Amino acid sequence: MVGLALLCLAVWYFQNVVAWVLIAAVVSFIGGPLVNFLQSIKIGTWHVPSSVASVVTLLAFLVLIYLFFALFAPLVASEAKSLSKINVDQVTVNLQREFSNILSSLEPYNLSGDERSNEEYIVQQVKEVVSFSDIRGVFNNVFGLIGNVLITLFSVLFIAFFFLRDREMLPRAILKATPDQQMQQMENVVNRTRKLLSRYFGGLLIQVSIMTILITAGLSIFGIENAFLIGFLAGFINLIPYLGPYIGAAIALLITITANIDLDFSTEIMPLIYKIAGTFITAQLIDNFLVQPYIFGNSVKAHPLEIFLVITMAGTLAGVGGMILAIPAYTLIRIIAREFLSGFKVVRSLTQSLDE
């Protein structure tokens, strides 16, 4: 128990390093088939060395990351061009008119609960939410984030190179630290984890593809510009459990509104908002009731309600990052509990689906 407590303390203290190792392990899971394919290439007695295959695989990952950002570069340039053409005076007039309409509809109500008018109350709330100090803090956070991303990228690639070059390095290290009497159980944990997590990441790829197709098709039917780019970005962001769809919809609305900011808000922009919202709601319902249950049921062998509770608790403890890592971590915990704590009735109940 003391050793376990010290291990948990070390993991918490060095959580960044642990995160790099885990991400590198995921990269090795995904890139493993490509490494195997490259090593199978033979010219006479010569075959591709494992180091070369690993480097090529990591370069392929970097190329995919570059293509991902390059894909959205035209969209960003288009948005910047649209913003530069905005008639600020006309937009101000339109916003003032819409703001007056909103105040007129709220006139029977007292939002502040005191002697202040609704206009004064709303302006004050906006000033409290948006301030120059907040904007300065956002820029500081952005620059800090860029530095952390570069450090993380280098560290993950460095660790993943060795995991790809020697696919048994991590399992071997785990087994070497395992007592002899528990060796078979730990081998079962390693093998089952590989199997389930490979299925899970494959399922995530299917989920992203389906959401991209649904949103792209819906936006294309309604004639929304940049439908594919918005659909792909929304499908990728959908990997964030529960929050992803809202973020994707917000980005889609922002892109559409800024591209059509000179149009009349009530008669032209609002219909576009309704169409985008309807597309995202429909796609999310399909994802929640058809796609996700299939992925979770066939990959990690867990009930959707069970997954919901786990993701909610992980989000409370560790924010968005915890929500993203919740399912893989919970899957690993269930596998370990299945092998080492099967004497407890509650463990048998939560892990019996792993035997199916």
Which of 99-103, 178-182, 183-187 comes out lowest in average pLDDT? Answer: 99-103
In the block, which residue shows the tokens 């991400």? 23
Answer yes or no: is pLDDT of 123 > 80.
no
Stretch 337-348: mean pLDDT: 73
Q: Is 206 among the domain residues?
A: yes
Residue 129 lies in a domain: no
The pLDDT value given to residue 183: 83
Question: What is the pLDDT, as a whole number, of residue 141?
Answer: 62
pLDDT of residue 142: 56
Whole-angstrom distance, CA of residue 16 vs CA of residue 22: 10
Q: Are residues 38 and 149 in the same domain?
A: yes
| Element housing 42 (H / E) | strand 42-43
In which element (H, E) is residue 43 found?
strand 42-43
Residue 274 lies in a domain: yes
Q: Residue 194: what pLDDT?
A: 78
- The partner residues of 42 in beta bridges, in order of sequence, read 47
Higher pLDDT, 99 or 308: 308
Residue 5 covered by a domain: no
Same domain, 158 and 224: no
Bridge partners of 47, per DSSP, are 42
Establish if 194 belongs to a structural domain. yes
Q: Mean pLDDT across the stretch 210-217?
A: 90
Report pLDDT for 82. 62
Residue 344 has pLDDT above 80, yes or no: no
Q: What range defines the domain where residue 277 resides? A: 179-356
Assess whether 327 and 195 both reside in one domain.
yes
Q: Does any domain span residue 7? A: no
Ranking 84-88, 96-100, 258-262 by mean pLDDT, the lowest is 84-88
Structural domains of the chain, count = 2
**Which residue has better confidence, 115 or 32?**
32
Report how far residue 289's alpha carbon sits from residue 304's, in angstroms, rounded to the nearest whole number.
Answer: 10
The verdict on 270 and 341 lying in the same domain is yes
3-state secondary structure of 303: coil
Closest CA to 234 of 265, 260, 264, 256: 256
Q: Are 341 and 347 in contact (CB under 8 A)?
A: yes
What's the pLDDT score for residue 134?
53
Q: Which of 59-63, 316-320, 350-354 has the highest mean pLDDT?
A: 59-63
**At a CB cut-off of 8 Å and minimum separation 6, what does 183 contact?**
175
Return the DSSP state at 79.
H
Q: Is the pLDDT of residue 93 over 80?
A: no
pLDDT at 219 over 80: yes
Residue 132 has pLDDT above 50, yes or no: no
Say if residue 356 is in the same domain as residue 270: yes
113 against 28, higher pLDDT: 28
Same domain membership, residue 20 and residue 66: yes
Across the range 178-199, mean pLDDT stands at: 80
pLDDT at 130: 53
In the 3-class helix/strand/coil scheme, how is 54-98 assigned residue by residue?
HHHHHHHHHHHHHHHHHHHHHHHHHHHHHHHCCCHHHHHHHHHHH
Element (H, E) at 265: none
Question: What is the per-residue pLDDT for 28?
Answer: 83
> Mean pLDDT lowest for which of 79-93, 100-114, 124-138, 202-216?
124-138
| Whether residue 337 sits in one domain with residue 188 | yes
| 349, HSE (Cβ side, Cα atoms, 13 Å) | 4
Average pLDDT over residues 127-139: 53
The answer, yes or no, to whether residue 283 has pLDDT greater than 60, is yes
Kindly state the percentage of the chain with pLDDT values over 70: 78
C-alpha–C-alpha distance, residues 261 and 191, integer Å: 55
Among 24, 35, 59, 326, residue whose Cα is nearest residue 173:
24
Name the least confident of 18-27, 106-115, 132-141. Answer: 132-141
Note the pLDDT tens digit of each residue in 326-338: 788 888 888 887 7
Beta bridge partners of 43: 46
- What are 237-256's pLDDT values in tens digits? 888 777 788 888 888 888 77
The pLDDT of residue 79 is above 70: no
Residues 49, 56: Cα–Cα separation, whole Å: 11
On whether residue 296 sits in a domain, the answer given is yes
200 and 349 belong to one structural domain: yes
**144 and 218 together in one domain:** no
Which region, left, alpha or beta, applies to residue 31 given φ > 0 means left and ψ of -120 to 50 means alpha? Answer: alpha
Over its C-alpha atoms, the chain yields an Rg (Å, rounded) of 25
46 beta partners: 43
The two three-digit tokens of residue 128, written as one number = 């409290």
Q: What average pLDDT does the segment 27-43 reach?
A: 81
Q: Which two tokens stand for residue 154?
A: 């280098």
- Other beta carbons within 10 angstroms of residue 340's beta carbon come to 13
pLDDT surpassing 60 at residue 131: no
Examine the domain organization and report whether 142 and 271 are in the same domain: no
Packing angle between helix 118-129 and helix 88-106, nearest 10 degrees?
A: 130
| pLDDT at position 24 | 85
Q: Are 196 and 301 in contact (CB under 8 A)?
A: yes
Write out pLDDT tens, residues 222-239: 888 778 888 888 888 888
342 membership: H or E segment, kind and range: none
194 and 156 within one domain: no
The answer on 198 and 160 residing in a single domain is no
On average, the pLDDT of the chain sits at 77
User: CA-to-CA distance for 164 and 54, rounded, in angstroms?
Assistant: 6
Residue 112 belongs to a domain: no
